[in-house]
Structure 1
Amino acid sequence: MRGSKVGALGPTHAGRQFGRRNFYYITMLRDPVSRYLSEWKHVQRGATWKTSLHMCDGRSPTQDELPACYSGDDWSGVPLADFMDCPSNLANNRQVRMLADLSLVGCYNLSSTDESERGQLLLASAMSNLKRMAFYGLTEFQRKTQYLFERTFSLRFIAAFTQLNSTRAANVDLSEPLRRRIEELNGLDVQLYEYAKDLFLQRFQFSRQREHREVRLKRREERRWLREQREQREQQEQREQVRSWLPWQQAQGSRGGGGGGGGGGGEVGGGEGLGTGKESAGDFPATTEDYTSQVARW
């Protein structure tokens, strides 16, 4: 992504200005010292950026604005000291420059703004654009980068990312003074990386918490669904029991009704018998005695 107005736009702003587009801006950042050493090794092996136009505000920089660091076809075999001594080396603060809107500082015209002010404007622009990107990762956090990418775009890689720390840059024997010198040359990148790492870890933590919350909600919904299914089964079983019990109850009711009629007839017959029969005097004492004994027992 170049340092032009269009290239520096985040997905939301770009969508508003140019209409809906089916793409997102993403990037990867790396520890500034390791990245700088890696580029040095790359150039040392003969790599160049001759085909890069460095377009900004519709034009490429002039030779005076961006003088070459070497003569010839490439910079093969360049020592680290010479690589660091070139003031126009685009390896310096490359990450900030690639993320920032260079038109804010007159593109590659260094005389348009004060050096300190220029640096702060570029850094602020790079931070703003990075924050608005749909996704960015850090080379030093491969597994977390994979996790955030998969969560952001709902995609899954077929293999886990591997953290390879044995790189050409890592194998450079770097003294502490030399490391500090590289950090000075890439002071803006150092600040950007610290900001990016802090924001990256915040996003990772937020995404993990949201994932855990989603898992809890999913389990809660599953338990609710299972409970509803169990209640429905129980209600269905109760309805089936009622349906199977009703015919038996009706049959019992029919048989009970016939027996009651016969009993009533018997009672009537008994009444007639009592009415026509003569009561003996001996019946009452027995009844009274029985009642008295019951009262005493109560």
Structure 2
Amino acid sequence: MSDGAKSKFKDARYIYFTILRDPIDRFISEWQHTRRGATWISASLRCNRQSPPFKYYKPCSFFIDNNNDDDGNINTTDWLNISMQSFLNCPYNLAHNRQTRMLANLSRLECYKHLTEWSQPVNNTTSLTSISPVQLALLNSAKHNLVSVIRCYGLSEYLVYSQYILQKCLCITFKRSFIEFNKLSFIQQRLMYTHAAIARSNLSSNVLEKIANVNRLDILLHNFAEKLFTYRLVRYLLFDSSLPMHFKRPLYTVWAYYYKYKSDTPLRILLFSNLIDYDNSNSTANTSRLSSFSYRLNLFLTHLFIRKGSVPVAETVLINENRRWRKKLAYDLKA
């Protein structure tokens, strides 16, 4: 790279944004990717320009019992067909609380010295008093960066709202919409047909609880992110001149309630209820969802994206994606 190019990148002002995902779905997705053979063997783990000492981090393949070769030697490069239990049991698994760790400033937390402590299971709780000081420091660092360093972010559960916030925050228009929009596909949402969502429905409640326990920091971070996401979304909507008053009036009402009682429950019910229902797909429930405020608002925003130049995903593409994921999952779970 030339000196001029280096100087140009050195002086550039970077804007950071991200998409957060449901922690359990994200963990299952990484497990699925790993059991297909992904190892990130060529990637280097760095912090403060140094790799972590072996005593602080060891690849999980050192602890996997079911990856022995014919001579009984542990295969350190291939996690093919790793079981969920082995994936959960590895004390150095970087998949544990990955979103929290990647958002935190590790250079101020002694890098990977406390990796195994960050991964310690935490039972079902929403109280910060139940987690260790080391875990709390990691969580607080991630929250701080989410508020002050990351310019804006989206949530994969709410793709229409996420596209709206990112476009407003970054002053851009995405060439392709995040979601194909019609009545059927919107009710079901694309995330319901991800590999992880299909696999999740086949896992026992005991396994799902273990996944939640080793990703407790991610869950607490996601809860915090949802509240901040709701606050920012309402702020953008209330000051958006393109939004009709029949959408703004209910928002003003619940916004006043939020300020008076410091509760975002009415806001969340208004904006997010009836968007996703995994268990109920009967026609009566569908009719109720189609008349809900959240559905009508998402419909309006999607048409707004199209008017500004975003191209919706073709329904045939969505159907083909769903078919491909189902076939891939059936193939992967044969072993």
Same fold (TM over 0.5): yes
Tell me the distance in 1 between the aligned counterparts of 2:115 and 2:140. 20
What is residue 150 of structure 1 aligned with on the other side? 167
Change (3 A) 1:91 1:215: same
Say if 2:78 is the partner of 1:87: no
Contact 2:237/2:243, CA 8 A, preserved across alignment: no
User: Among residues 50, 55, 58, which one is paired with 2:46 in the alignment?
Assistant: 55
Runs of 4+ deviating beyond 3 Å: 111-115, 212-216
Q: CA deviation at 1:215?
A: 8.1
Q: Distance in 2 between matches of 1:174 and 1:113?
A: 26
Indicate conservation of the 8 Å contact 1:105/1:112, yes or no: no
Alignment partner, residue 196 of structure 2: 169
Q: Partners of 1:139 and 1:213 in 2: how far apart?
A: 24
Counterpart for residue 118 of structure 1 = 134
Moved more, 161-170 or 207-216: 207-216
Structure 1 segments unaligned to the other structure (5+ residues) = 1-17, 217-298
State the 1:112 CA deviation: 11
Task: Give the direction of change, closer, same or farther, for the CA distance of 1:85–1:111 in structure 2 (3 Å limit).
Answer: closer
In 2, Cα distance between equivalents of 1:19 and 1:127: 27
Counterpart of 2:158 in structure 1: which amino acid? F
Structure 2: tracts of 5 or more residues without a match: 1-8, 62-74, 121-131, 180-188, 246-335
1:62-121 Cα distance to aligned partner (Å, 9 max, x none): 222101111332211101111101111000000011010112321111399997111111
Aligned pair count reads: 199
Match of 2:228 in 1: 199
Counterpart-to-counterpart distance in 1, 2:53 and 2:221: 28
Partner-residue secondary structure (3-state), 1:135: strand
The 5-angstrom pairing of residues 173-252 of structure 1 reads: 173-212=202-241
Change beyond 3 A, Cα 1:171–1:213:
closer
Choose from 107, 130, 135 the match for 2:111. Answer: 107
Structure 1-normalised TM-score? 0.62
Counterpart secondary structure, 2:196 = coil
Specify the SS of the correspondent of 1:160.
coil
Contact 2:97 2:217 in 1 (8 A): yes
- Deviations 1:236-283 (CA, angstroms, capped at 9, x unpaired): xxxxxxxxxxxxxxxxxxxxxxxxxxxxxxxxxxxxxxxxxxxxxxxx
Cα distance in structure 1, aligned partners of 2:177 and 2:115: 48
CA distance in 2, matches of 1:85, 1:59: 27
Q: State the alpha-carbon separation in 2 of the partners of residues 117 and 103 from structure 1.
A: 17
The offset of 1:145, in angstroms, is: 0.7
Residue 187 of structure 1 and its aligned partner are, at CA, apart by: 0.6
Question: Aligned letter for 2:196?
Answer: A
Offset of 1:174 from its aligned partner? 1.9
- From the superposition, tell whether residues 170 and 60 of structure 1 become closer, same or farther in structure 2 (CA, over 3 Å): same
Establish whether residue 67 from structure 1 lines up as the match of residue 58 from structure 2.
yes
Q: Which protein is bigger by CA-based radius of gyration?
A: 1
Which string of whole-angstrom CA distances, capped at 9 and with x for unpartnered residues, describes residues 5-44 of structure 1? xxxxxxxxxxxxx986332011111000000000000001
2:143 to 127, 137, 148: 127
Aligned-CA RMSD value? 2.5
Task: Give the distance between the partners of 1:196 and 1:44, measured in 2 at CA.
Answer: 29
Q: TM-score, normalised by structure 2?
A: 0.55
